[in-house]
Structure 1
Amino acid sequence: MKNNFLLIFSCFLLSACQDDDFALENRNEAIKGQWSFRAITLTPSIDLNNDGIPNTDGFEEVETCLLDDLFFFGDTGGEANVFRIDENASRCNDTPQGSSTKFRDNYMFNDDKTILSFVESDIIYFVQELSSNTLELEFDEVIDGQTIRVNYIFNRD
């Protein structure tokens, strides 16, 4: 009886935690679409904007014109797994004239769908969450000799 209760309780816990959008086999489809920043967290705190105040809130440390960029994952022009960053209304003036695309690459998941990488970049992004409305990625960046853990949280547009 006790073993049956534990088995039923374990099954209940597993089924309660299951999110079809987050399921590993669905990540190739779940990531497709347009995303925008919800939050950027920097650990430990760092002063990127040279105002003398280290901060963990990346929104306080990066240029405002970067915060409304749009991030696109998907298939385009017959090409699969295209990643693109497009400037939105707040332009940083670093895109070619007549274009809103400031970066383009191809992405891929590793076999177990927990790591997202790009063809032209050596940064490995660890997928923390991928659901119908949220994409959370973490990676390490060395800045001025210090390793910073960067956490991006995106909302689906």
Structure 2
Amino acid sequence: MTALRGQVGGEISVEMDAAPGIDLTKILAEMREQYESLAEKNRRDAEQWFFSKTEELNREVAINTEQLQSGKTEITELRRTIQSLEIDLQSQLSTVRGPGWRRGRSAPVGRPRVPGRRPRARAEAGQGASRCVRSRLLPLLSLVGKAAAK
């Protein structure tokens, strides 16, 4: 083998025209920088969206709370109105019917029937007053019912 080495023993020179090697660390660094900037932009966008939605919801809560309070106040006022109308109705009925009137009787208890008096007319007058107050009371009752259903 030594003899063969001596015969072949020349120098060989090989030259190659090759492109310079790709610097993968530089490419990865650039990709990481692009990714991080995109992630930061997305985080800022998401944060801005979150704050705008939170602000919008807070405004809606404030408006709905105000409307709820207004509705409760209106219901309270309507109930007071109903109570006062019921008191007025009872007052008018007692005025029309007299102090000793009892349901189902044409003459008040304790008072004898006086000829010429018309107990029916007195009862009809009471019914007329009752109808008048009821006509004012029923729309209010329906309003209270609707408001309570909300």
- Which bracket does the TM-score occupy, shorter chain normalised? under 0.3
Task: Name the one with the larger helix percent.
Answer: 2
Q: Point out the structure with max Rg over C-alpha.
A: 2
TM-score in terms of structure 1 length: 0.24
Task: Name the one with the larger strand percent.
Answer: 1
TM-score in terms of structure 2 length: 0.25
